[in-house]
Amino acid sequence: MTTATDLSLITPTVEEGRALAIKLARSTVKATQPDAEVRVRLRPVYAEDPVALVAIAHVVAVEFATIAAANHYWR
């Protein structure tokens, strides 16, 4: 069951914020391509593509920036 705290961008630490950013990015991929077999089949393709890896890093960075702002940059 999903609770309100599961939906929060608030995290106690920067490290947990980064982990949440990665989780959100992975969830986006899963929502975009819900077929697990297709995701597994494509993984070797993008794992060897530097442009795809940079794009993935960018998605995580955008998610992390959003989380950091929500946490007032952990001040």
Residues in the chain: 75
pLDDT at 5: 55
pLDDT category at 1 given cuts 50, 70, 90 is very low
pLDDT digits (tens, 9 = 90+) for 9-59: 999 999 999 999 999 999 999 999 999 999 999 999 999 999 999 999 999
Give domain limits for the chain.
12-74
**E strand or H helix at 20:** helix 14-32
pTM for the full model? 0.83
